[in-house]
Amino acid sequence: MTPTVAALVEATLALATVDSGSAADVVASAAPLLVEFPFQRNYITSIVRVSLYVSLTAVALATLASVPVALLVGFVDFPGKRLVVAVINTGMGFPSVVVGLLVLVLVSNQGPLGPLDLVFTKEAMIMSQFVLAWPVITGVSLAAVTSVEDGVRDAARAMGGTRVDVALVTVKEARYGIVTGVLAGVGRAISEVGSVFIVGGNIASADGTSITRTLTTAIQLEARQGRFETAMVLGAILLVLVLGVNAIVLRLGDQRGGR
Amino acid sequence: MSQSRETERESEAATEVPHDRHRAGEPVVSLDGVARRYGEEAVFEDVSIDARPGETLAIIGPSGAGKSTLLRMFGLFEPPDEGRVRVDDIDVWTVGERERLAARRRVGTVFQEANLFDASVQRNVAYGLHVRRRWPERLRESLRRFVRTDPPEAVRDALSTVGLADAATRDADSLSGGEAQRVAFARALAYDPDVLLLDEPTSDLDPRNTAVLENAVETARDSGMAVVMATHDMHQAERVADRVAVLLDGGLVEVGPAERLFENPDDPRTRKFVDGDLVY
């Protein structure tokens, strides 16, 4: 075992056994390391936890709201349908800082949701990420459900399916496309910085755990304060998460193409 | 096994399905003076025809005559621009959605293309049964599938009718075009409809698969179903139909027993069409 690897193993074992306060000292003493860890272990894990909680909750809610809208826009004619499609398409490229600003106005003391006291909370961040993820998931889902052949829906109807049954068949047939949309929404939400910074405030508690600090806002803060090692570690975690999501999307695409 | 032996085996399988059907001899679905127009132009007008139990009715005519549209009216997919569609004595386009759904559930349809779902053969064939269950029952059935994979009896029977008894667990995507169409046929049979509609079901099939499906049509007819088939293949109409309706020039020009119509038609246009002299 090389000295560097041995030092890393030693540091890892030490991290697992000592409290978080002394972890940084143990790691710092385990030289020579490529990256120093000038932070407490809870800091990183709490940031990842907040990021995942906010993004996944926002995407789950956005998915629930997206699929029915995609089915409605895809298969029902109604006045203003073109406008809805235009809103969805525009929303896919909506600047996140503007979304953050709008949500902040909404939840601020003077806004309609002011009494709920949501400023600088995870709930406000979920709202802003919902607004960002919804058009992405709806747009991709709309393309997926409208690509389901009419014949398949006719078959469901011919066998006695109700409107709900036909809609369920359509969703099932379009499932790969819808999941791709959901994963694209996850990618959009988790890598977004502007709106969560505005509505969340990038807050960490005195003991160093994140309250509304996400991976993206933390990277921005650490880089600005010159703690590049920390920023790099956070960036690597974010990159792994986004790459993981994209790998799933590609895998689904392969499966769909191979069918 | 040679191809003919295999076809023979599949044909034998087609006769194995037990049916216990008690139907009156009255028409199940009746079209009464129906018309379809696209803008000012009429595809057909004043068409009156019915589907009778235990009989195969073939609708023949050139491409664009409106055979598929007529079939869609039989299947309660779309209302006529004029006239009435009745199932038993119910005028289905004057009643509520619920009653119309109940009427539609008495009809099975096989389209020109198989249109199978992206699922196993078993799931495809069981779909008609599945949607007829109440939601709690559907949920129980879905949970049961985790522990029990053997198909329900109705699904097995329907697959046997088209000679695909062993294909239940296969993925629909793995089927050949002929097999897929046979599964589509089984899917329409599985819930034992009173009326079976076939829209050019063998137009893309090889002779072997065509023979299997024609045998299955005969089995369905013998079990008491009213079979209505739209086809431009007059030889097929002659082989499988008891009664033939000729859709030409925007209307039905002749309806009659197959044997008589092909040998001695009343209308000179039918004669020309049957002889292949009528060019469109």
Interchain CB contact of B75 with A (< 8 Å): yes
Q: What is the pLDDT of residue B280?
A: 57
Q: What is the pLDDT of residue B278?
A: 65
Spatial distance between the Cα atoms of B158 and B69, rounded to a whole number of angstroms: 27
CB contact under 8 A, A154 and B77: yes
Percent share of chain A, pLDDT over 70:
81
CB contact under 8 A, B111 and A162: no
Q: Residue B131: helix, strand or coil by DSSP?
A: helix
- Burial (CB < 10 A; 0-12, 13-18, 19+), residue A112, is exposed
Q: What is the pLDDT of residue B148?
A: 73
CA atoms within 13 A on the CB side of A84: 17
Q: Are B175 and B120 a contacting pair, CB within 8 Å?
A: no
Cis? peptide before A32, omega within 30° of 0: yes
Rounded to an integer, the average pLDDT of A23-28 is: 46
Q: Which of A137, A138, A171 lies closest to A152 in space, CA to CA? A: A171
Which residue of chain A is at minimal alpha-carbon distance from B184? A155
Nearest by CB: B132 against A151, A158, A160:
A160
Residue A105: beta bridge partners? Answer: none
- The helix (run of H) or strand (run of E) holding residue A40 is none
The distance in angstroms from the start CA to the end CA of chain A is 47
Residue B29: beta bridge partners? Answer: B51, B87
Place of tokens 């803008």: B39
Q: What is the pLDDT of residue B276?
A: 78
Q: In what side-by-side order are the strands of the sheet with B243-248?
A: B107-110, B195-199, B226-231, B55-60, B243-248, B251-257
CB contact under 8 A, A159 and B117: no
Residue B231: beta bridge partners? Answer: B60
For B146, residues 6+ apart whose C-beta sits below 8 A from its C-beta are none
pTM above 0.90, yes or no: no
What b-and-e string marks burial along A86-101, b requiring 16 or more CB atoms within 10 Å of the CB?
A: eebeebbebebeebbb
Q: Is residue A170 pLDDT above 80, yes or no?
A: yes
Q: Which of A170, A13, A143 lies closest to A89 in space, CA to CA? A: A143
At A187-205, the pLDDT tens digits run 999 999 999 999 999 999 8
H runs (alpha helix) in chain B: 3-14, 67-74, 97-104, 121-131, 135-147, 153-161, 177-189, 207-222, 234-240, 258-263, 268-275
Amino acid (1-letter code) at residue B166: D
At B25-50, the pLDDT tens digits run 789 999 999 999 998 889 999 999 99
Q: Are B128 and A155 a contacting pair, CB within 8 Å?
A: no
Confidence tier at A251 by pLDDT (50, 70, 90)? confident
Rounded to an integer, the average pLDDT of A141-169 is: 95
Q: Find residues 141-170 of chain A whose CB sits inside 8 Å of chain B.
A: 149, 151-152, 154-162, 165, 169
**DSSP string across A176-231:** HHHHHHHHHHHHHHHT--HHHHHHH---B-TTS-BSS--HHHHHHHHHHTT-HHHH
Confidence tier at B24 by pLDDT (50, 70, 90)? low
Interchain CB contact of B132 with A (< 8 Å): yes
Best B68, B92, B115, B123 residue to mutate vs chain A (most A CBs within 10 Å): B115
Q: What is the pLDDT of residue A11?
A: 45
Nearest by CB: A155 against B105, B115, B191:
B115
Q: Which of A56, A69, A184 lies closest to A130 in space, CA to CA? A: A56
| Residues in chain A closer than 8 A to B127 (CB atoms) | 156, 159, 161
At B213-265, the pLDDT tens digits run 999 999 999 999 999 999 988 899 999 999 999 999 899 999 999 999 999 99
At B57-99, the pLDDT tens digits run 999 998 889 999 999 999 999 999 999 999 998 999 999 999 9
Percent share of chain A, pLDDT over 90:
72
